[in-house]
Amino acid sequence: MSPQLIYPLIGAGLFSLGLYGLIVHSHLLRKILAINIMGSGVFLILVALAKRSGEMPDPVPHAMVITGIVVAVSATALALAMMLKLHTETGRTDLPDDQQT
């Protein structure tokens, strides 16, 4: 396995791990953690594969990942605030499963 495949594989692993955590956990904070880890997985794949072009890495994925990090913190902040409000209103930190599908 060539060394430059290590990090993309780790990224794939983080994405899968985060996805599992998102589905399995019901506590909202842990769901938020899981989403962040998934995001990090995607960013890792982007940047790790950018290093293939030799000494000077491709800067476009770097810019994309910085954008992604800012988007992630925005979404996390909103999600946390909503979780707190939900907790104040209902006393629970998970979503009720009584919705009909």
Partner 1 sequence: MEISLLSTIFDVLLGLSLLGLAWSALATTDLFKAVLLFIAFGLLMALVWVRLNAPDVALAEAAIGAGITGALMLSALARLNSPHTGRAIASHTTDPEKDPSIQWWPFISLVLVFIGLAYSVFTFSPAFMGLQPDVYSQLVNSGVENPVTAVLLNFRGYDTLLEMLVLFVALLGVWSLGENPAVKTPFISPVLDTLSRLLTPVFILVAAYILWVGAHAPGGAFQAGSILGAAGILLLLSGWQLRKDTSSLFFRVLLLAGPLAFVALAAITLLIQGQLLEYPPAQAGLLILILETFATLSIGVTLAALFLGGFPWSKNRALK
Partner 2 sequence: MLSMLAQIPFDAILILLPLGAGMLSFLWPVIARALGLLTTVAVLMSVIGLGWQIQQSGSHIHLLGGWSAPLGIQLYADGLSLLMLAATAIVGFAVSIYATRYFSRRHDEVRFWPVWLLLLGALNALFLAADIFNLYVTLELLGLAAVALTALTGSRQALVGAMRYLFATLLGSLCYLLGVALLYQTYGTVDIALLGELLESSPGVWAALGLITTGLVLKTALFPFHFWLPPAHASAPAPVSAVLSALVVKASFYILLRLWLTLFNPTDDSINNLLGLLGATAVLWGSIQAFRQTRLKLLIAYSTVAQIGYLFLAFPLAAASGGLAWNAVAYLALSHALAKAAMFLTAGNLIHFDGHDRIADLDRVVQRLPVTAWAFALAGVSIMGLPPSGGFIGKWLLLEAALKQGNWGIVTVLVVGGLLAAAYIFKVLGNTFTEALHHHESSTSVPARMEWTAFGLALGAIILGFTATPVLEIINLGSPFSAREISP
What angle, 0 to 180 degrees and rounded to 10, lies between the N-to-C axes of helices 6-24 and 28-49? 160
The single-letter code of the amino acid at 67 is: T
Q: Give least dist CB 43 to partner 2, A.
A: 8
User: Based on the number of CB atoms within 10 Å of its own CB, is 54 exposed (0-12), middle (13-18) or buried (19 or more)?
Assistant: exposed
What residue 95 binds from partner 2, partner 1, none (CB within 5 to 8 A, per partner kind)?
Answer: partner 2
Tokens 């293939």 map to which residue?
52
| Minimum CB distance to partner 1, residue 101 (Å) | 16
Contact code string over 22-61 relative to partner 1, x by CB under 8 A? -xxxxx-xx-xxx-xx--x--xxx-xxxxxxx--xxxxxx
95 sits near partner 1 (criterion: CB under 8 A):
no
Which of partner 1, partner 2, none binds 91 (CB below 5-8 Å, type-dependent)?
Answer: none
